[in-house]
Amino acid sequence: MKRGARILSLFMLCLLVLPMGSCRAAAAPAGEYTRFSRRVFDIFDTEITLMGYAASQEAFDRATDHTVDQLRELNQIFDGYNAYGDLHNLWYVNEHAAQAPVEVPDVFYSLLVWCRDQWRAGFRATNIAMGSVLKIWHDYRTAGLDQPALAQLPPFDVLTDAAQHTDFENLVLDDEKHTVFYADPQLRLDLGAVAKGYAADLVLPDLMAAMPSFLISLGGNVYAGNAPLDGRANWNVGVQDPQADPVQVALGGTDILDVLAVHDLTVVTSGDYWRYYVVDGKKYHHIIDPETLMPSTKMISVSVVCESSLLADYLSTTLFILPYEDGLQLVEQLDGVEAMWVEPDGTVRISSGMGQYSRNFSTFQ
Ligand code: ADP
Ligand code: MG
């Protein structure tokens, strides 16, 4: 998604969660607490919004400075494109883990174990060991965005060659030493499908301790804490309309498909409008179906509501790739997980319990 459009959607989020329409210091009628917010643009390659109630601007700044520091550190650990001194981050692992086992920070190791557990349980649409294929798409997309007139699709034989090196079982994890080794030298990890959700979960405990109520948004990953202190029972989180017409939006139309009323829950959306490039007039987005090695075409947006942002992030990518029936079956098996799918023709489907959060969609068919 282009920056202008991202800011627009953030603006809508602010409108939805701030009754005053301002992103700064709206007074709350909750005694000693006032609502504050801030935005950060240079972490996780997305915009981050922090909103919360604090006794003073100073207290809010202190709490959120700490969160921003934590997020910055996590961003470095999960950065696949840059080195940070001798930090054994994702980039370092991808560069070195085929030569010898690399010891990684505990938070990194735990995420790999969590993803391995999903893989071993048979969930394979989201495969973090698919980095070799995803890097090719990333490079073609980046080149196509730099020079749109020359944008090209990756040659299919290059993708199929890379797909030979995506077996999760070649990622050798040592639970004692917390090391990672690539038994296949061409294996590469890509954590784009899960890192932001995981990071949100990791910063929650300190935010909860520091503020009576808050909301954090990392791009399409939102966690809404305790109910806001302005008398409402829930935070309102906007779900962007994946088919919103930018011209209509610029003229004052809405780009919001739905509003989800939640507290102590996460809302994570994967959409075809976040990151894409155009080849011969056709849009190619960033969520790749491991079966076809092409951008998945079954959905244009999937939102997941549950307690864990990591699970929601993982599931939003997974449900984006799976056929609706398979995704629904998966969601209905999971306690406390609900989802909303938007298909390419605009059809919206919801899981059996999604209606309790949704303003516009209450019927489960
Ligand atoms: P966003 O990053 O926009 O929030 P997602 O959470 O759906 O969206 O993650 C998309 C990212 O996940 C891609 O940019 C890519 O790095 C990675 N990815 C894409 N397809 C897959 C896949 N099938 N399995 C694992 N990771 C994927
Ligand atoms: Mg995801």
Every domain of the chain and the residues it spans: 90-113+122-182
- Cα(141) to centroid(ligand 1), Å: 14
| Ligand 1 and 46: CB distance under 6 A | no
Nearest to 105 by CA among 198, 171, 177, 202: 177
- φ/ψ of 35, rounded to 5, equals -90, 135
SS3 for the chain, per residue? Answer: CCHHHHHHHHHHHHHHHCCCCCCCCCCCCECCEEEEEEEEEEECCEEEEEEEEECCHHHHHHHHHHHHHHHHHHHHHCCCCCCCCCCCCHHHHHHHCCCCCEECCHHHHHHHHHHHHHHHCCCCCCCCCEHHHHHHHHHHHHHHHHCHHHCCCCCHHHHHHHHCCCCHHHEEEECCCCEEEECCCCCECCCCCCHHHHHHHHHHHHHHHHCCCEEEEECCEEEECCCCCCCCCCEEEEEECCCCCHHHHHCCCCCEEEEEEECCEEEEEEECCCCEEEECCEEEECCECCCCCCECCCCCEEEEEECCHHHHHHHHHHHHHCCHHHHHHHHHHCCCCEEEEECCCCCEEECCCHHHCECCCCCCC
Ligand nearest to the CA of 287: 1
- What pLDDT does residue 365 have? 66
301 in contact with ligand 1, CB cutoff 6 A: no
Q: Please, what are the averages of pLDDT over each run of 10 residues along the chain (365 residues)? A: 31 36 42 93 96 96 98 98 97 98 98 97 96 98 97 98 98 98 98 97 97 94 96 96 87 91 98 94 97 98 98 98 97 97 97 97 81
Residue 263, burial from CB neighbour count under 10 angstroms (0-12, 13-18, 19+): middle
Q: Do 101 and 181 touch, CB atoms closer than 8 A?
A: yes
Q: What is the pLDDT of residue 2?
A: 27
pLDDT confidence of residue 8: 31
Q: How far apart are the first and last CA of the chain?
A: 31
Whether ligand 1 lies within 6 angstroms of the CB of 287 is answered as yes
The whole-angstrom separation of Cα 225 and Cα 215 is 6
What are the beta bridge partners of residue 214? 52
What is residue 120's predicted lDDT score, i.e. its pLDDT? Answer: 94
Does residue 197 line the site of ligand 1, with CB under 6 A?
no
What is the predicted pLDDT for the residue at 63?
Answer: 96
Protein residues with C-beta less than 5 angstroms from the ion ligand 2 = 193, 313, 316-317
| Alpha carbons 14 and 24: distance in angstroms, whole number | 10
283 φ/ψ angles, rounded to the nearest 5 degrees: -85, 135
Superfamily of domain 90-113+122-182: ApbE-like superfamily (1.10.3980.10)
